[in-house]
Amino acid sequence: MIRVVIVDDSPVVRNVFEQSLNADPEIEVVATAPDAYVARDLIVQHQPDVVVLDIDMPRMDGLTFLKKLMKYYPLPVVIASGLTDRGSQLALDALQAGAVEVVSKGGTKLPGESAAIELLYKVKAAALVDVKRRNAIATATVATPPPAPATRSYGRIASDRLIAIGASTGGTEALEAVLRGLPEDCPPVVIVQHMPAKFTAQFARRLNGNCRATIAEAQGGERLEQGHVFICPGDDHMVVMGRSAPYTLSLRSGPLVNRHRPSVDVLFKSVARSSGSRTVAALLTGMGKDGAQGLLEIRNTGARTICQDEATSVVFGMPREGIEIGAAEFVCPLQDISGKLMELASQSVRKAA
């Protein structure tokens, strides 16, 4: 049983979240609180497994409370945020400060039932996280300077190469670590990170300021060109179109796949059909199995594939699933993945096995 405390100044939101979570037999909401001061005492009293925390509250905002919690009483926190620019910025700050997931409090394309599924999924993912270990991984990632540009080390990269990456819980830090290690003239990169709508735009802007390549949230219709990285917006699936370079991106609605929209499998399967053996793909930290089957389809074209290892994964779910079904040609620690992507992208295309 996953024991949850909900902290939100809105009684309506507290009630909706409590009903949604209590509907799952694996979850019990043990307390709700209207502010951080009440929450502090309830957390000590009930010792929950997960806290769902509003980011914008009176008396003490959620980010300030989160930082205090991580210092004195670290445990998995799911941030609940509105879709304003300020809300998305604060949510990303919260992820950097120790929160493990973020959910939206409105404005989504997801119908009510699917929105509840998303909340349940993220609470369950958060419950798997060892917060002290997660924070140690994040601290090491931030403290490590990005590797020197790798292009000269691995030779000229063919113009038809494509890099595809999928990630979920723990992926914001993992993606930054990987992208910081890529040179400004890397092959085009397409990414699905499980994240609500609106947050992906702010996430892309933040990465763009910290990395050599040009990083943006996909809008649909983009040509995939060297030195450009595109992150799929929340609430849309992203597919790669075309049989030869330059490939293009298309955004689509549609049902959830593996409980997600965007889905890594949707992206990876389109990549297998389009760039095929000219692809290098990586599946990073996250709960569940999204992306594993798509990674296998990519590998079966003769492409090169990587899964993040257990030691550096915040949640070793998606990578483990990929490894177990034979989708991973290589299993690498996070700090080695950017270099491995460039090394493999520089090698000759192999024929499918």
By annotation, the residues acting in catalysis are 168, 194, 290
Bridge partners, residue 162, by sequence: 279
What is the 3-class SS of the chain, one letter each residue? Answer: CEEEEEECCCHHHHHHHHHHHHCCCCEEEEEEECCHHHHHHHHHHHCCCEEEEECCCCCCCHHHHHHHHHHHCCCCEEEEECCCHHHHHHHHHHHHHCCCEEEECCCCCCCHHHHHHHHHHHHHHHHCCCHHHHHHHHHHHHHCCCCCCCHHHHCCCCCCCEEEEEECCCHHHHHHHHHHCCCCCCCCEEEEECCCCCHHHHHHHHHHHHCCCEEEECCCCCECCCCEEEECCCCCEEEEECCCCCCEEEEECCCCECCECCCHHHHHHHHHHHCHHHEEEEECCECCCCCHHHHHHHHHCCCEEEEECCCCCCCECHHHHHHHCCCCCEEECHHHHHHHHHHHHCCCCCCCC
Is the C-alpha dihedral spanning 295, 296, 297, 301 positive or negative?
Answer: positive
**Euclidean distance between CA atoms 304 and 283, whole angstroms:** 12
Residue 162 phi/psi, 5° resolution? -140, 140
